[in-house]
Amino acid sequence: MSEVAKLDELRVGGLTLTGITRGGVETCLMVPELAVMFDVGMCPPGALTYPTILVSHGHADHLGGLTYLISQHGLMSSPAPVIHMPEEIVAPMRQILAGWSQIEGFELQFDLHGHAPDSRAAVGRNLSALALRTSHRVPSLAWLIERTTHRLRPEYVGREGREIAGLRAAGEVITDTHVEPLLCVTGDTKIEFFDEQALARRCKILVHECTSWDDRRDVEVTRKWGHTHLDELVARAEQFTGEALVLVHRSMRHSRREAEAIVDRRFPAAMRGKIHVFGW
């Protein structure tokens, strides 16, 4: 297996990110603690264990493995995977899957949902995925996972369980609801997404695409392809107030070692500890 095809793994903000992500080659990011997978890539090892898939857009390096993944689920007789994607690509994707069913002589089972920007999908207990518009060459969405927790109000802390249960039964509101922006994965996008989405800038973990890392492809050309250049993120890094800014989708022009050296050299010292290079 080539270096690029190897799964990378990063533990940040209480979550594990595992997967493959190189610009134009393959992108699939799995988060076991949330049982959620972002994009499919070519369906790398482990991808078949994820019941929920959040798709950013339809470029083949992000979605090419979907037919294979659905077909494999059929072979294993596992529940149909739940797939959320931009609404614009649902109809052509259904056509592709219908054609594939015909080729395989076997009815593929899947649960496909189209999303407009700002719509939501429930993805697990207390977890909701918010679709946010990104700016790429085709219809595209970022996905932001919010976690809702209920905390006992301070005035009830320390009381006995039976008393709490009694208060609850009497209709007293004894908890406060807290919604935390936990993880945002941009998919492919120009920097407009970072500038426009305040919620992403304060998300605990922001996985942002960074395709170009130096002048071999400058900001202007990078933008023409619908991507983000490192210069644009360096200029804005301090606006990110979360715990970890994870840079993915690096072009094959740049090695991992090169990218890590560039992070050390280019980002403000106070930010360096938050910046992570992901993908071999």
Stretches 34-42, 56-64, 143-151, 195-203: which one binds Zn ion (CB under 5 A)? 56-64
The rounded distance, in Å, linking the Cα atoms of 188 and 267 is 22
- On whether the CB atoms of residues 35 and 129 are closer than 8 A, the answer is no
Query: Using the rule CB under 5 A, is 59 a contact of Zn ion?
Result: yes
Residue 127 · residue 146 · CB < 8 Å = yes
* CA neighbor of 192 nearest in space, from 208, 169, 173: 208
- Least Å distance between CB 277 and Zn ion? 17
Which residue, 188 or 231, has its beta carbon nearer to Zn ion? 188
Query: Mapping DSSP to helix (H, G, I), strand (E, B) and coil, where does residue 38 land?
Result: strand
Q: Which is nearer to Zn ion, 188 or 232 (CB)?
A: 188
232 touches Zn ion by CB under 5 A: no
CB of 136 to Zn ion, least distance (A): 6
Q: Which residues pair with 148 in a beta bridge?
A: 179
Q: How far is the CB of 26 from Zn ion (least distance, A)?
A: 9
- Shorter beta-carbon distance to Zn ion: residue 8 or 61: 61
- Nearest-approach distance from CB 19 to Zn ion, in angstroms: 13
| Contact window for Zn ion (CB under 5 A) among 34-42, 60-68, 142-150, 155-163 | 60-68
Contact 108/74 with Cβ under 8 angstroms? yes
Contact 218, 249 (CB under 8 A): no
Q: Which run of H or of E encompasses 184? A: strand 175-185
Residue 26 touching Zn ion (CB under 5 A):
no
**Binding segment (CB under 5 A) for Zn ion, from list 52-60, 98-106, 168-176, 255-263:** 52-60
Region 161-190 residues binding Zn ion, contact defined as CB under 5 A: 188
Question: Encoding tokens for residue 142?
Answer: 């970022």
* Cα gap 22→146, rounded to integer Å: 26
Least Cβ distance, residue 179 to Zn ion (angstroms): 30
Number of residues that bind Zn ion (CB under 5 A): 3
To Zn ion, the closest distance from the beta carbon of 229 in angstroms equals 14
Compute the distance between CA of residue 49 and CA of residue 154 in angstroms, rounded to an integer. Answer: 40
Q: Which is nearer to Zn ion, 29 or 97 (CB)?
A: 29
DSSP for 20-70, please give it: EEETTTEEEEEEGGGTEEE--TT--TTGGG-SEEE-----HHHHTTHHHHH
Residue closer to Zn ion by CB (options 71, 134) is 134
- Tell me whether residue 61 or residue 231 sits nearer to Zn ion (CB atom): 61
Closest CA to 117 of 63, 179, 178, 56: 56
Contacts to Zn ion by CB under 5 A: 59, 61, 188
